[in-house]
Structures are given as structure tokens and as C-alpha cells.
Amino acid sequence: MSMVATLRRMARLMVGLPDYDDYVRHMTAHHPERPVMDRKAFFRDRQEARYGGKNGGRCC
Amino acid sequence: MIRHLPWLLTGLVGAVSLGVVAVSRGETVNALWIVVAAVCCFFVAYRYYALFIARHVMKLDPSRPTPAIRRADGLDYVATDRTVLFGHHFAAIAGAGPLVGPVLAAQMGYLPGTLWIIGGVVLAGAVQDFMVLFISMRRDGRSLGELIRMEMGQAAGTIALFGAFMIMVIILAVLALIVVKALAESPWGMFTVAATVPLAMLMGAYTRWIRPGRIGEVSILGLVGLLAAIVYGQVVAQSPVWGPLFTFTPVQLCWILIGYGAVASVLPVWLLLAPRDYLSTFLKIGAIAALAIGIVIMAPPLRMPALTAFASGGGPVFSGGLFPFLFITIACGAVSGFHALIASGTTPKLIASESDAPLIGYGAMLMEAFVAIMALVGAAILDPGIYFTMNSPAALIGTDAASAAHAVTAMGFAISPEAIAQTARDVGEHTIISRAGGAPTLAVAMAEIFSHVVGGPAMKAFWYHFAILFEALFILTAVDAGTRAGRFMLQDLMALAMPRLGESKSQIPGVIATALCVAAWGFFLHQGVTDPLGGVNTLWPVFGISNQMLAAIALMLATAVLFRMKRDRYAWVTLLPTAWLLVCTLSAGWLKLFSADPAVSFLAHGAKFSAALERGEVLGPAKSLEQMERIVFNDRVDAALVAVFLAVVVSLMVFTWRTCMASRRSPAPTVHEIPTHPVAA
């Protein structure tokens, strides 16, 4: 990975958004029969997962 | 041998720098000595101690599949590049704590805080984070409460969960109190912080409907909006119409924050919480990086003495002597129990290989300690007179420049009323007197450093409000997210008592839990705001005790796990910091309850005031009998809270002892690690 790509990924993961391409790769490799979320659905799903409460603890 | 040479050199540079910092008396010391000493110590500790723990204590196995491999799902469990994950973990653990504690601790001089941050993080804080990450990583990324339940039993897990909830309440109250202290009577600051709410909502709408998922884009737009709000805030503050509309008393702000917390925590997350989290996260990382660069460029001299007279107690910022109170005042940055919740949260599910764990677990905590060192440097480069003017309660120094200058000069830190008034004018505030809580002090220091690099003295007011905004922004995000997290913790606890409440179909338990959570931190916030001693003085030690107590619990879990793995001979790695934290928290808790000094002990303070109340006498700083009654009531609540914390930690000590003894009797390891073979997700 180039440095810019690493920093981009780092910034996105800092706010709880994993890489979309990784997700698609995982789904096509392991679960070709299941539906794959598009970018928008993926973004909303991850937003809910990060902020929905269970993982909501921020540090002091 | 050759490969150890550079490390030996680093160690030598660190030792010499530390020597300069520790031995210099009378002459001024440059802040860079502290920074260099810390960085060298951290590198050497990482290279040798973290690797020792990884190889010998944990016996990390790079071939063993991590949760991200075993349960890969592309969403929660994703094998992540270690640099990327380092950023994620650091952003999750670094908050307001490492910025506030060291600033408060500077009242004892810069030396005790520096030594505790460096020694504490290397032997306790980073060890705790690393051990919890390791334990969770070997158990599918489970949370701290579940880990304690697995290894030490149901009862221990429930007690720990209850303790964690109480800590959350205190943290939220203290953080909100810091915001109140920073924004009270400050129309400029209040306007910029208020402007972030509609700004975040616009950003939320943008990421929801216009360009979903474009976080970078929307954050840049948000940043432009923020800078505009800071610039425009000055105009608003000076306007005869708008200025007073954004000027609030502390009590008004307290109610605004309670209302905000209640509403914000039930709004959809994409509308307010998520977009503001983007802003606060990126601003936090940017501001920390800028501060580091600024300190290196400016290379400021330290103006605070290495040790002040307050090291032996009687300080205006917090009461009590160096031991044990320094060690609970600087919690985050040296060792923070709250990290145990983060290290058993999302991070263990993202780690790609066990060999990445030292960098993430130990390394990220060293980075946080570096942030704490910078905060300490910030407080120590200010004129000590200004520092004590900003951080002493109004009950001690009055509310106008003349009385404050007189009182602070009497403490031994000469300052003139003109200097106080000039500092306030420089940063664009009406007053800087008694702005305890760390954030405003750090903002003055950041304004000093940033304006030296960019913009000169004319930019000081801008940078001051930039720093206040950056701190308020992530504290408000923490209040919002923390209320949501607290709500789920409370629901879990209520479900244990009444299983019907745990069912998530009905909205009612959620609403009740949210209301209870807000009421709980709101109570302590209101107590802090109306406390004639300024609140931070009272609440920060309670927060420190609770946070260090959670750290002790996490380290006790780590000790129990080492015993159950039959690695008893390495248990000193966790036993040493556990013992130190137990000594500090138990003695601090004991003094807070039973010390004869009313300035330290809640019970002695309450007894003094209730005795006066019976005589019908009003004792300062109270102004009426009603205030006297409130002081007595608050003292008793705080005492009860400390007693609960002590009971939690003592009972977990018993559980740990029993677990360790049982493991010693067993000939084989009894640990509950997840077996190594992969499963399909």
C-alpha cells in the first residue's frame, strides 16, 4: 500500500469505516450465494454498528 | 551485540535528558529535554520490555489465527494492516483525559508528573492495554465484563460491570464539567461550540443523502465551517445584541448540557453523533500533531518550578499530598482503566496477526503518554502566576484581577493584576480567573505555542478559541456516545435483576435507562457546577480513583489469566503494577473517607459543615445555610461513592486471590482460550 492509501484507510477506520473492497472480496470469496451490500448500505451499516451504542464507549 | 548499539545510544540520550530535567535547580530548563527524555525512554521500553512480554510472558504465536482470521466477515472481523489499526486504536484511546490530568498535576511542579507519566506508562499503563488486548484477542474479541466472567466467575463479572458503569457516570460528569468551566461567561467559545450542532447536522444530511460515505469530503467542508465559526464568533461576542445571548452562567450551561445529552443520545446516529465524531476525531489527531511540531519549533523554556511547595499537600488545584494524589490525578497518560474497555472492544477483532499486538497494545499507549507529556509541558511553559490564577477556586482567590493577583502572589507566584487582565485580553475573554478543569489552561498554552509558529500575538485569541473548540468538540462527542454506552450497560445490569427488561422489543426500557443515565451524570455535574470550591477540585480525584481502580481490576484479570496459563513465574509483570495501583487507590480512597483534614476527606469536611450548621453558623465558601446543607449532602454522596468503589475493588481482589490459588493447585492450565482451529463465519 502506498502511504497515501494507508493514511486514507487509517482515517476512515478511525471513525469506524472498514475498507469496502475488502468486504466485497470477502463476500465473493466465501459467500458467493449471499447478497452483497452496495457502498451506501455498507456505509450505513457500519455507521449504525459504530454509534448504535454497544461499541459507543469513547475514552476519557 | 551490534544490533543493540543504537538502542543503547537511545537509552543513554534518554537517561542524560532525564538527568538534566531532574537535577536542574534554579536555572531554566528547556521543554525539549522532557520531550527527548520521554521519547527515548518509550523507544527503549518498546524495544525491550514490550518484546519481553510478547515473547516470554504471553508467548505470542504469529501462526495462531486471530479473531479477524477465524471469524472474518468483512465487517466487524477484518484482518487490518498494523499501521492502519494503530491509528484506529490510538484515536479510540486518546481523549480529554491525558490533556487534563497532567495540567492539574502541574501544581506540584513539572518533575513529579513527568516521572510518573514515563514510569507509569512503561510499567503499568502500556502493560495493562497490551495484556487486555492479548486476553481478548485469544477469546474472539470479547469485552472486559465477559472476560472477567469467563476467567473469574459470574459474580466477579457482574461486580466489574457495575463498577464500569459508575466510572462511566463519573467520567461523563467530569467531562461535562470541563466544558462548563471553559464556556461559562464566554460568548465567543459558546457560539463556536453551539455552531457545531447545526454544522454537524448539515454534514449528517450530506453523508446521508447527497454523497453517502464521502467522509473525507464532508469533513473538509465541516472544517471550513468550524474555522468560519471561530472567526465569526469574535464578531458575535462583541455584538451588543448577540453577545449577551451567548453568555451563560455555569448553572445555565449545566442545564443546557443535561438537556443536550438527553436529546442527542436518542437522535439517529447519522444526524449528529457520527458527523461530529468525524470532525472531533480528525481535529484531535491534527491538533495533537500540530502541538508536537509547535513545541519542537518553539523549544520553550519551562517556567513552572520542578517542584512546588504544594507537592507536600495544600495545593489550590486539588487537595492532598504527592502520594497518593498525584498518581490518581494523572490517570490517562500514565495508566487508564478505561482503556481496558477499548482494548477489549473493536481492536482485537481487527488485528491481523498476534505479532502485531505489541505495536497496537503497548505502542499506542506510549503514544498517549506522549500526548500527556505535551500537556504537562504546555502547563509548565506558562507563567506560574497565570497557571494558579486560572486553576484556583474563586473561593480562594476571588473573582477580580486585583484579588486574584494578591492571593496568587501570596502563594509565592508573583503576578500583577495587569498581567492577568492582559492575558484575558490576549485570548479574547472577559476573564481567565478560576477556569479550572485543564482545558482553558491548555488552550492558553496552545495559543502561546501556535501563535509563535503561525500568526504572532494577533492570532492568540483565534488559537485560544480553536483549542477550546477542539476540546469541547470531542468532550461533547464523548458525552453523547458515553450516554448511549452507559444506557446499554445499565440495561444489561437491569436485565440481570429483571430479565423482562433485557428484551429489546419494547422502547420503554431503553428510554428509562437513558433517563437514568443522564440523571446520574447530571446529578454529579450539577453538584460540581454549584460546588463553591469549583467542582473540579472535588470530582477529579473521584474520577481518578475510579479510573485507576478499573485499571487495577483489568490488571488483576491479567494476573489471574497468567496464573491460569501456568505462567506464574512471569506474573510479576502484572502483579507489580497491580500492587502499586491498589496501594494508590486504596490509600487515596481511605484518605478521601477518613483523613482528619477537611480539605482532603469528604467525611471530615461534611462533619465540619454539619457541626457548623447545628450552631447556625455559615462557613466560607458557603454563603447561606442552604448552601451549607448542600455541601453536607454532596460530601456524603461523594463519600458513599468512594466507599462503593473501594468495595468493588476489594471484592475483586478476593476473587482474583481465589482464582490464582485454585490455578496453583491445578496441575494443568485452566485458562479458557478459544482453540486454534478456524471456524466458518
Question: In Å, what is the CA distance from A46 to each residue of A39, B91, B200, B399?
Answer: 11, 17, 18, 49
**CB-CB contact of B635 with B606 (8 Å):** yes
The C-alpha of B384 sits at a distance from chain A's nearest C-alpha, in angstroms, of 26
Question: What residues contact residue B642 under an 8 Å CB cut-off, 6+ apart?
Answer: B542, B545, B589, B592, B593, B602
B75 in contact with A at a CB cutoff of 8 Å?
Answer: yes
Check B81 against A49: CB less than 8 A apart.
Answer: no
How many angstroms separate the CA atoms of B86 and B84, rounded? 5
How many angstroms separate the CA atoms of B280 and B222, rounded? 10
Pick the residue from chain B with its C-alpha nearest to A21.
B74
Check B216 against A1: CB less than 8 A apart.
Answer: no
Q: Which three cell numbers stand for residue B435?
A: 477556569
B93: burial class by Cβ within 10 Å (0-12, 13-18, 19+)?
A: buried
Tens digit of each residue's pLDDT (9 = 90 or more) over B220-279: 999 999 999 999 999 999 999 999 999 999 999 999 999 999 999 889 999 999 999 999
Q: Among B87, B207, B543, whose Cβ lies nearest the Cβ of A10?
A: B87
Query: What pLDDT shows up at residue B621?
Result: 82
Q: Which of B592, B581, B588, B598 is nearest to B640 (CA)?
A: B592
Query: What pLDDT shows up at residue B493?
Result: 85
The average pLDDT across B317-346 equals 94
Q: Is the dihedral of CA B212, B217, B223, B228 positive or negative?
A: negative
Q: Which residues of chain B are within 8 Å of residue A32 when distances are taken between CB atoms? A: none
Check A11 against B213: CB less than 8 A apart.
Answer: no
The C-alpha of B303 sits at a distance from chain A's nearest C-alpha, in angstroms, of 28
User: DSSP state, B433?
Assistant: T
Report the range of poorest mean pLDDT among A50-54, B428-432, B570-574. Answer: A50-54
Check A44 against B74: CB less than 8 A apart.
Answer: no
Tens digit of each residue's pLDDT (9 = 90 or more) over B156-193: 999 998 988 998 899 999 999 999 999 999 999 999 99
The C-alpha of A37 sits at a distance from chain B's nearest C-alpha, in angstroms, of 11
Longest dimension (CA), chain B: 78
How many angstroms separate the CA atoms of B283 and B2, rounded? 42
Tens digit of each residue's pLDDT (9 = 90 or more) over B497-551: 877 765 556 678 888 999 999 999 999 999 999 887 778 888 999 999 999 999 9
Whether omega for the bond prior to residue B667 falls within 30 degrees of 0, making it cis, is no
Q: Which three cell numbers stand for residue B508?
A: 420503554
Q: Is the pLDDT of residue B627 over 90?
A: no
Secondary structure class of A11 (helix, strand, coil): helix
- The residues spanned by each domain of chain A are 3-51
Query: What pLDDT shows up at residue B449?
Result: 97
How many angstroms separate the CA atoms of B590 and B654, rounded? 18
Q: Among A9, A54, A59, whose Cβ lies nearest the Cβ of B92?
A: A59
C-alpha Rg value of chain B to the nearest Å:
25
Angle B591-B520-B325 (CA atoms, 0-180°, nearest 5)?
20
| Residue in this structure with the C-alpha cell 494558579, named with its chain if needed | B388
The average pLDDT across A20-36 equals 95
The C-alpha of B210 sits at a distance from chain A's nearest C-alpha, in angstroms, of 11
Check B75 against A52: CB less than 8 A apart.
Answer: no
Rounded percentage of chain A residues whose pLDDT exceeds 70 = 87
Check B97 against A26: CB less than 8 A apart.
Answer: no
Question: In Å, what is the CA distance from B612 to each residue of B70, B363, B445, B593, B630?
Answer: 66, 53, 41, 19, 13
B282 in contact with A at a CB cutoff of 8 Å?
Answer: yes
Q: Is the pLDDT of residue B681 over 50?
A: no
Q: Among A11, A45, A55, whose Cβ lies nearest the Cβ of B346?
A: A55
Longest dimension (CA), chain A: 43
Provide the mean pLDDT of chain B: 93
Q: Is the pLDDT of residue B383 over 80?
A: yes
Pick the residue from chain B with its C-alpha nearest to A10.
B84
Question: What is the CB neighbour count within 10 angstroms for residue B106?
Answer: 32
B207 in contact with A at a CB cutoff of 8 Å?
Answer: yes
Task: Look up the ipTM and state it.
Answer: 0.96
How many angstroms separate the CA atoms of B381 and B103, rounded? 11
Question: What is the CB neighbour count within 10 angstroms for residue B15?
Answer: 14
| Amino acid (one-letter) located at B678 | P
**CB-CB contact of B383 with B303 (8 Å):** yes
For B113-126, give the secondary structure using H, E and C: HHHHHHHHHHHHHH
Q: Which residues of chain A are within 8 Å of residue B87 when distances are taken between CB atoms? A: 10-11, 13-14
Tens digit of each residue's pLDDT (9 = 90 or more) over B337-373: 999 999 999 999 999 999 999 999 999 999 999 999 9
Q: Is the pLDDT of residue B569 over 90?
A: yes
Query: What pLDDT shows up at residue B502?
Result: 58
Pick the residue from chain A with its C-alpha nearest to B482.
A57
Q: Which residues of chain A are within 8 Å of residue B273 when distances are taken between CB atoms? A: 51
How many angstroms separate the CA atoms of B477 and B469, rounded? 12
User: DSSP state, B617?
Assistant: -
Check B342 against A57: CB less than 8 A apart.
Answer: yes
Chain B, window 253-272: residues with a beta carbon less than 8 angstroms from a chain A beta carbon: 269-270
Number of H helices, E strands in chain A: 3, 0
Q: Which residues of A touch B (CB under 8 A)?
A: 1, 6, 8-19, 22-27, 30, 39-40, 42-60
How many angstroms separate the CA atoms of B540 and B544, rounded? 6
Query: What pLDDT shows up at residue B680?
Result: 44
Chain B, window 533-562: residues with a beta carbon less than 8 angstroms from a chain A beta carbon: 543, 547
Question: What residues contact residue B207 under an 8 Å CB cut-off, 6+ apart?
Answer: A43, B213, B214, B215, B218, B270, B274, B275
Check B215 against A11: CB less than 8 A apart.
Answer: yes
For B41-71, give the secondary structure using H, E and C: HHHHHHHHHHHHHHHHHCCCCCCCCCHHHHC
How many angstroms separate the CA atoms of B536 and B67, rounded? 41
How many angstroms separate the CA atoms of B624 and B613, rounded? 10
**CB-CB contact of B517 with B486 (8 Å):** yes
In chain B, the domains with their CATH numbers are 2-185+248-665 (1.20.1740.10)
Question: What residues contact residue B645 under an 8 Å CB cut-off, 6+ apart?
Answer: B163, B166, B545, B546, B549, B585, B589
Pick the residue from chain A with its C-alpha nearest to B350.
A18
Secondary structure class of B622 (helix, strand, coil): coil
Check A18 against B74: CB less than 8 A apart.
Answer: yes
Report the range of poorest mean pLDDT among B243-252, B333-342, B407-416, B622-631. Answer: B622-631
Rounded percentage of chain B residues whose pLDDT exceeds 90 = 85
The average pLDDT across A29-33 equals 95
How many angstroms separate the CA atoms of B180 and B98, rounded? 19
User: DSSP state, B620?
Assistant: T
- Treating both helix axes as pointing N-terminal to C-terminal, what angle do B536-564 and B126-137 enclose, rounded to 10 degrees? 50
> Bridge partners of B351?
B80
